[in-house]
A and B are shown apart, each in its own frame.
Chain A
Amino acid sequence: MGDAVSVQGLHRAFGPVVAVAGATWSAPSGAVTAVLGPNGAGKTTTLECVVGLQRPDGGTVRVLGADPWRSSAAHRARVGVMLQDGGLPTTARPLRLLAHLASLHQHPRDVSALATRLGIDGFARTTVRRMSGGQRQRVALAAALVGAPEVALLDEPTAGLDPHARREVWDLVREEADAGTCVVLTTHSFEEAERLADRVVVLAAGVVVADGTLAEVRGDRPLEDVYFELTERAPR
């Protein structure tokens, strides 16, 4: 299958601080692409350019063939997004919020099945304000997937989750990719990348220092060793 996400020579700076300095990588449909990198490597900025929340200063970004910065409603319906800050209204209860987000789509997923799958019905009466970090993460992930997207862009989807919830999220993400979705996620977890990712992109100081299948990037060594070697060499 072709690349659902294509990033070519992406540049993005905030005043004098260059967040992304000419990154080129792509992500195919039907696979999980993990974007790794130290804090400040440009992962979130890159993802936000792919989402369409930030306008690149240079280079091109294409998602399902379209420029996300000028995205239409039809395009946004095909792309599910989980942001690092969650973006959930603090007074909302999860099922009503998910039902509302589902109503913005023509053919959404079954909200109660998705909520059950992610264990959200266990805290259905809790408002976002009173949820734990892990509970919020699960609701934010459900919000990203409720529209049955063709591309799922997930910024640190398992940060703060306990091992059981993390396993459940991994299984769900795997199923999404196996069903044909292009999943792009950022992570700090080597375990997550090794167990879940088909492709790995490593960013350091705003540039891509590795891009390939998991096997290509790590060879016969643990990903962790390769990662430290790659990111320590990168300019800071």
Chain B
Amino acid sequence: MSAPAPAGRRIRAQAAYETRTLLSNGEQLLVSVVLPALALVGLTLSSVPSLGPGRRVDVATAGVLALAVVSTAFTGQAIAAGFDRRSGVLRLLGTTPLGRSGLVAGKALSVLAVLAVQVLVLGGLGLALGWHPAPSGWLPALVSVVLGATAFVALALLLAGTVRAEAVLALANLAWVLLLGLGVLVPTGELPRGLRTLARALPSGALGDALRTSLVQGGWPWAAWAVLLAWAVAAGLAAVRWFRWSG
């Protein structure tokens, strides 16, 4: 009798397949690694914009790691899922032993794998530029990355599952540019007063501030985590409610 591979193996296989696909996609590599690396070098070597208190390279590296999370968990996932939905890939995979839950688990695992690669590359570049992360900051930074990735993947699926693939492409790239300026690279405290409150309430500002608090000061950014958790729950529930598997 035909039998499925064990669940763990199916999910790992899907994660490996998606990770290879993402890492072999030139545009995705540009957004995930090349542009954040350029941002890191640019912010570290220049003196504008103001990054507030702390060593410039430390603040810049934390912000660039937040940018890496947004690129992979939001932009990359939204575009991939949007086009996979349109071409029927999500429907077809739903009929295989992987199923819909396995597909979501595989995607989540693949996001974590790509993030690990990004942290190694961008963290390595940061160290070469003189980055000294706070020794006690690794644990809160890990929590921040996981919470941020969860919130942004949920937002990506909400977008990818509700609008046309071309619109997903446009909106995901637009959001990447807009969020960049709303607390990802530049601390929310350095933004104009009117934007500051908005940025802190958005997942971009919350993730950027969370990573800066963790890696620059070694602190535990409870308020930013609460914002990320709220976005993750709200976007997750909305995605479950409105996600359409077929285009």
Q: Interface stretch among A28-36, A100-108, A110-118, A204-212? A: A100-108
Does A88 sit at the interface, judged by CB under 8 A? Answer: yes
Instruction: Kindly identify which residue among B4, B89, B99 contacts A87, using a CB–CB cutoff of 8 Å.
Output: B89
Q: Given the complex of chains A and B, what is the CA–CA distance between A85 and B86 in angstroms? A: 10
Distance in angstroms from A87 CB to nearest chain B CB is 3
Cα of A103 to Cα of B16 in the assembled complex, Å = 11
CB–CB B21/A105 < 8 A = no
Interface stretch, picked from B38-46, B65-73, B90-98, is B90-98
Instruction: Tell me if B's interface is mostly helix, strand, loop or mixed.
Output: helix
- Convert B1-40 into 0s and 1s, putting 1 for each residue whose CB lies closer than 8 angstroms to a CB of A: 1111101011001100100010001000000000000000
Q: In the complex, what distance in Å separates the CA atom of A85 from the CA atom of B92? A: 9
B140 interface residue per 8 A CB criterion: no
A106 in contact with B3 (CB, 8 Å): yes
In the complex, are the beta carbons of A73 and B87 less than 8 A apart?
no
A91-B25, A106-B4, A148-B2 known; A100 and B13 CB under 8 Å? Answer: yes
Contact between chains at B92 and A74 (CB < 8 Å): no
B6 nearest CB across to chain A (Å): 8
Interface size class of B (residues with CB under 8 A): 20 to 34
Q: Is residue A42 within 8 Å, beta carbon to beta carbon, of the partner chain?
A: no
Q: Does B225 sit within 8 A of A, measured CB to CB?
A: no
Q: For B16, give the chain A residue with the smallest CB separation.
A: A100
Of the candidates B3, B13, B88, B102, the one whose C-beta lies within 8 Å of that of A103 is B13
- What CA separation (Å) do A19 and B3 show in the bound complex? 33
CA distance A103 to B11 in the complex (A): 10
A100 to B99, CA, bound (A): 14
- Decide if B99 touches A76 in the complex (CB within 8 Å): yes
Q: What are 30 A-B pairs at a CB distance below 8 A?
A: A53-B91, A53-B245, A71-B99, A74-B97, A76-B4, A77-B97, A78-B2, A81-B96, A83-B95, A85-B91, A86-B87, A86-B92, A87-B87, A88-B87, A88-B89, A89-B21, A90-B83, A90-B87, A91-B25, A100-B14, A100-B17, A103-B13, A104-B13, A104-B97, A105-B3, A105-B5, A106-B5, A147-B96, A147-B97, A149-B2
Shortest beta-carbon distance, A15 to chain B, in Å? 15
Chain B residues packing against A (C-beta within 8 Å): 1-5, 7, 9-10, 13-14, 17, 21, 25, 83-84, 87-89, 91-99, 102, 245-246
A107 to chain B, nearest CB (A): 6
What's the dominant secondary structure at chain A's contact region? Answer: loop
When distances are taken between beta carbons in the complex, the residues of chain B under 8 Å from A88 are 87-89, 92
A78-B21 contact, Cβ under 8 Å, with A86-B87, A87-B92: no
B10 adjacent to A104 (CB under 8 Å):
yes
**A143: which B residues are within 8 A, CB to CB?**
92
A residues near B (Cβ < 8 Å) are 51-53, 71, 73-74, 76-79, 81, 83, 85-92, 100-101, 103-107, 143, 147-150
With A92-B21, A150-B2 given, can you name 15 additional A-B contacts, CB distance below 8 Å? A53-B91, A73-B97, A77-B3, A81-B96, A83-B92, A86-B88, A86-B92, A87-B87, A87-B89, A87-B92, A90-B87, A100-B14, A105-B5, A106-B4, A147-B2
Which chain B positions have C-beta within 8 A of A51? 95
Residues from chain A with Cβ under 8 Å of B98 in the complex:
73, 104
> B residues within 8 A CB of A76?
4, 95-97, 99
- Known A77-B4, A78-B2: A52·B89 in contact at CB below 8 Å: no
Contacts known (A89-B21, A89-B87); A104 close to B4, Cβ less than 8 A: yes
Assess A53 versus B4: contact at CB under 8 Å? Given A89-B87, A90-B83, A103-B9.
no
CB of A142 to closest CB in B, whole Å: 13
The 7 closest A-B pairs by CB, nearest first: A87-B92, A87-B88, A77-B4, A106-B3, A85-B88, A81-B95, A73-B4
Checking B1, B4, B84, B91 against A83 with a beta-carbon cut-off of 8 angstroms, the contacting residue is: B91
User: Whole-angstrom distance between the alpha carbons of A79 and B88 in the complex?
Assistant: 18
B7 to A, closest residue via Cβ: A73
Q: Which residue of B lies closest to A81 (CB)?
A: B95
How long is the Cα–Cα vector from A32 to B14 in the complex, in angstroms? 32
CB contact between A105 and one of B4, B25, B89, B93 (< 8 Å): that residue: B4
Closest beta carbon of chain B to A109's beta carbon, Å = 10
